[in-house]
Structure 1
Amino acid sequence: MTALYAVAKPGRDPGEGGRVLPPLPVATSIGKRLFDILVASGALLVFLPLLLMLALLIRLDAPGPALFRQRRTGLGGQVFTVYKLRTMTVVEDSGEVRQATKNDARVTQIGAVLRKLSLDELPQLFNVLIGDMSIVGPRPHALAHDQFYGERIPTYDERFRARPGLTGFAQISGFRGEVRELKQMADRVAADNAYIDRWSLGLDLIIAFKTLPLMLRDPNAY
């Protein structure tokens, strides 16, 4: 994988002439990594039959692959490939990726259900297992969005001090869905960075627990 940005790797402070700093606990904790592996492997065992059924329904619903791959930015600005169930009639991974909006015509019939229940995110459990992602962390955005918001929000790149997550503090705080103005993304980034700065395993457990009811009734999921 190659770095998208010239951001500091965990353990370096560009504002101090590259002075070596202690690695961030959120990125180096063995306990967090074990938690990720246990939860991801257990969830995959439970949801594998559902994943296979959904993949079949996606293929029957609209032409195209069942699995959607897109490049995202991870820990230290490293680019990785994220896996999702396809929910749209298009598969975008270019310099211009249009964010999903309410009543988006690109979303398929089954895709609308998958997005509402966040079931399209299930393949990202594989990303967690191989270490590209974590169960809890800043949600990864498309590279085009990283470039756009990184140029406009000074603290945006600080999100890359942690592995991206399936869910995060921003999501349980209501910062999810369509971004209509810059402040909405700035608030999301602030929540992500607050999580990184205050991280603990207990906080991960709280966020994961609070995510469960949102899978069934989040008005910002579409």
Structure 2
Amino acid sequence: MIPGKLTGAMDAPIIHQYRDRLLKKKGSLLCKRAFDLIVSALMLICLSPLLLVLAVVIKCDSRGPVFFRQERITTGGKPFRIFKFRTMVQDADKLGSAVTAPGDSGVTRVGDKLRVYRLDELPQLINVFLGQMTFVGTRPEVPQYVDAYTDEMRATLLLPAGITSNASIKFKDEQTILNQAMEEGCSDIDQAYVTRVLPAKMRYNLEYLQNFGLGEDFKLMWKTVMGVFFHQD
């Protein structure tokens, strides 16, 4: 799961320190990948009826494809195309920011409901099965935000991008922060995200990297389920 050799922007002393720590946990990393592969396959099979129903509803609700595909960055800085159910009008990502602004009118009626329960994330099980993502890890960012990473932030790219993380749980209301940043003078929503939200998220992501373990993964998955369905932190 960890890149065999660090090159380019990944070849920084601080990143090597994180890598050396992770290499001491090879057994846990192998178990993490085995868990991802087996559970994602089982979930795709068991949830296939729900996925089909959601696909039909999305198609009937608005024009455009069922899936939203966008380039994100994962292990070693490699690009991949993420699978998500489309929650916005067609080509909305080409018309504005890479993050959804507060009150964005581009979100569809069905999309708004999907986002509340994070059902739009379910197709990422495909990315997990393919090894491009993992259940727990730093959320995958678009290239323009990864370009703004410090060397230490890039250490999060030592592991595959994740569906959920402690940062995702803590910042499930990040639009409130973005709105406040805009009111305080940020020139645009992208600047607000890079200067206010991203550094705060990365503190949690780097802490996860330092304390990586399967027990922590299971705890974060449970917290995610509780947060989504019961609104508990």
TM over 0.5: yes
Corresponding residue for residue 174 of structure 2: 177
Identify the residue that residue 163 of structure 2 maps to in structure 1. 166
Decide whether aligned partners of structure 1 residues 129 and 176 sit closer, same or farther in structure 2, where only a CA change above 3 A counts: farther
In structure 1, stretches of 5+ residues that fail to align are none
Give deviations 1:133-175, integer Å, cap 9, x for gaps. 000000112222323x32xx55332221211111012122346
Q: Find the residue that maps to 1:139 and give its secondary structure.
A: coil
Paired residue for 1:208? 221
Match of 1:14 in 2: 12
- Of Structure 1 and Structure 2, the greater helix share is in 2
Q: 1:177 is matched by which residue type in structure 2?
A: E
Aligned residues: 206
Q: TM-score, normalised by structure 1?
A: 0.82
SS in structure 2 of the partner of residue 199 of structure 1: coil
TM-score computed with the length of structure 2 as normaliser:
0.78
CA distance in 2, matches of 1:175, 1:109: 20
Supply the distance in 2 between the matched residues of 1:23 and 1:33 (Cα, whole angstroms). 18
Question: 1:92 Cα shift?
Answer: 5.4
Q: Residue 186 of structure 1 corresponds to which residue in structure 2?
A: 199
Letter in 1 for 2:167: A
Tell me, which stretches of 5 or more residues in structure 2 are unaligned?
1-6, 179-191
d(CA) in 2 for partners of 1:77 and 1:60?
Answer: 37
Query: Identity of paired residues, percent?
Result: 30
Aligned counterparts of 2:22 and 2:173: Cα–Cα separation in 1: 26
Q: Which residue of the partner structure matches residue 209 of structure 2?
A: 196
Cα deviation 1:106-153 (Å, max 9, x = unaligned) = 000000001111000111001000100000000112222323x32xx5
**Given that residues 61 and 110 in structure 1 are in contact (C-alpha distance below 8 angstroms), is that contact kept between their aligned partners in structure 2?**
yes
Letter aligned with residue 152 of structure 2: T
* Alignment RMSD (CA, Å): 2.7
**Which runs of structure 2 are paired with 1:1-222 in the superposition (5 Å)?**
6-8=8-10, 14-15=12-13, 22=20, 24-25=22-23, 29-91=29-91, 97-147=97-147, 149-150=148-149, 153=150, 155-174=152-171, 177-178=174-175, 180=178, 181=192, 182-216=195-229
